[in-house]
Structure 1
Amino acid sequence: MANLYDGKMAAIYDAMYQTFVDYDQEYAFYNTLIQENNASSILEIGSGTGNLAKRFEQNKQNYQGLDYSDDMIAIAKERNKNCSFMQGDMRNFQLKNPVDAILITGRSTSYLITNADVNTTFDAIFKNLTKDGVLIFDFIDANRFIPFTKENPVITHEAEYKNVNYIRESHWDTNNSLENFMLEWNAEYYTMSNGKKEVIENDFSTVRVFTLNEIQLFLYLNNFEIIKTIDRKTYAYDTYVIVARKKITA
């Protein structure tokens, strides 16, 4: 798994996504799905710098977050004094007590680049859910995103936060030699001052996008039953959101 958003990148990510994402709207979306499934305890995988955690905490919900990056968690803990966060890998984690709902947010599924990554993640989630627990997650739709990157090899996003203007230029390489609909993503981050761009960081990752059929099969093979599929447009990517319930086999 990519070693993302450590050190300086954690703070840059946090600043830019304050503008990219409406976290009040994001919280309302996920909380609606949580309430529909009568879930009272929640784990968010990919909790990042704790922007959703803040909303769960404000509403006094039983929430905990898991993230791969210690630096992201440090920001999250500073922002949410009363929330529980743990550093961990979604492919192999163990909670003290199972929870009613596990979320994978922010398209963090993109970093599960092998089939083994996906299977071990779903297996770990299955083991950490209560009997009728639900898994709620999003993923980038390969059928729409790959053609988009072919037509738009450079994608620019701009954001302003605390009077600083940020620019991110994303370069997507759809390398046909890579398996599993993987893409190489190279992002350059700048600040803009007096009409001049100043490079502040570069980031490189190999990521994976999925077809809906792939995800349906992965869930079936890992004893999950899909109860809702949502086609959702986000700030940058066409995504699906899946709600799946664990099946208890005899």
Structure 2
Amino acid sequence: MATLYHGKMAAIYDAMYQTFVDYDEEYAFYNSFIKENNCKTILEIGSGTGNLAKRFKESQQDYKGLDYSESMIAIARERNKDCTFIQGDMRDFNLDKQVDAIIITGRSTSYLTTNEDMDETFASLFNNITDEGIIVFDFIDANRFIPYINENQKIIHQARHEGINYIRESHWETTTADNFMVEWQAKYYTNINGVKNLIADDFSTVRVFTLNEMQLFLYLNNFEIIKTIDRKTYAYDTYVIVAKKKSK
């Protein structure tokens, strides 16, 4: 797994995504599944800078966040002083007590680049949810995303937060040599009085999935699917899956 969003990248990410994502809507979306399945305790993987955490805690829900980036967690803790955040890896974590719901947000599944990563993650999820618990996660749909980026080699996103204009210029390169992998390079700028100033470069290798692939991973790792949602986000066509442990 790549080293993600450390140092100043965590703050830049946080600022830009305040514009990209409607966190009230995001909270309502995930919380609907939590309520439908009577889940009382929640773990969010990919909790980032704590934007959803804030909303779970405001609703007095029993929430914990887990993220790979210490820099992201530092921002989350400052934003949510009464909330528990764990620095950890979704492929290998052990909670003190199983939870009723584990949600993986922000397309964090994209950083599971090998089949071994996938199996280890689902094993960790299986071990850390209660028998009646659920997992909810999103992933980028390869069948729609790969044609899109092949036709749009440069993708520009703009955001404004606290009076500052930000620009992200993304470049994508696809390969099928090892799963459906995408090399992502991005440059981040501020735009002050029409002048662009480079503030950061970012590079990641990410994976996108077909729906059939993900269904098979779940089957082989002892999960059964409750619901599949075709969901459009600010930049990606995604699927969201709700699943539970297979009945004994």
TM over 0.5: yes
| Cα deviations by residue, 1:112-138 (Å, 9 ceiling, x for unpaired) | 000000000000000000011101000
Structure 1 segments unaligned to the other structure (5+ residues): none
Give, in angstroms, the shift of residue 246 of structure 1. 0.9
**Does structure 1 residue 122 correspond to structure 2 residue 118?**
no
Give, in angstroms, the shift of residue 175 of structure 1. 2.8
Compute the RMSD of aligned alpha carbons: 0.7
Q: Which residue of 1 aligns with 2:196?
A: 197
| Cα deviations by residue, 1:74-112 (Å, 9 ceiling, x for unpaired) | 000000011100000000000000000000000000000
**Does structure 1 residue 218 correspond to structure 2 residue 230?**
no
The letter for the 1-side match of 2:109 is T
Q: Report 1:71-150 matches (<5 A).
A: 71-150=71-150
Q: Which residue of 2 aligns with 1:232?
A: 231
Give, in angstroms, the shift of residue 174 of structure 1. 1.0
Secondary structure at the counterpart of residue 100 of structure 2: strand
Q: Which residue of 2 aligns with 1:183?
A: 182
Structure 2 CA distance, aligned partners of 1:195 and 1:187?
A: 20
Structure 1 CA distance, aligned partners of 2:47 and 2:247?
A: 28
| Cα deviations by residue, 1:9-32 (Å, 9 ceiling, x for unpaired) | 000000000000000000000000
The letter for the 2-side match of 1:104 is I
Stretch deviating more after TM superposition (240-249 or 19-28): 240-249
The letter for the 2-side match of 1:16 is M
| Cα deviations by residue, 1:18-60 (Å, 9 ceiling, x for unpaired) | 0000000000000001101111100000000000000000000
Q: Which residue of 1 aligns with 2:49?
A: 49
Secondary structure at the counterpart of residue 175 of structure 2: coil
Structure 1 CA distance, aligned partners of 2:247 and 2:50?
A: 32
Q: Report 1:146-185 matches (<5 A).
A: 146-176=146-176, 178-185=177-184
Structure 2 CA distance, aligned partners of 1:193 and 1:73?
A: 29
Task: State percent identity of aligned pairs.
Answer: 71
Structure 1 CA distance, aligned partners of 2:227 and 2:209?
A: 17
Structure 1 CA distance, aligned partners of 2:79 and 2:85?
A: 11
Q: Which residue of 2 aligns with 1:18?
A: 18
Aligned residues: 248
Structure 2 CA distance, aligned partners of 1:175 and 1:222?
A: 26
Structure 1 CA distance, aligned partners of 2:208 and 2:222?
A: 22
Structure 1 CA distance, aligned partners of 2:159 and 2:4?
A: 20
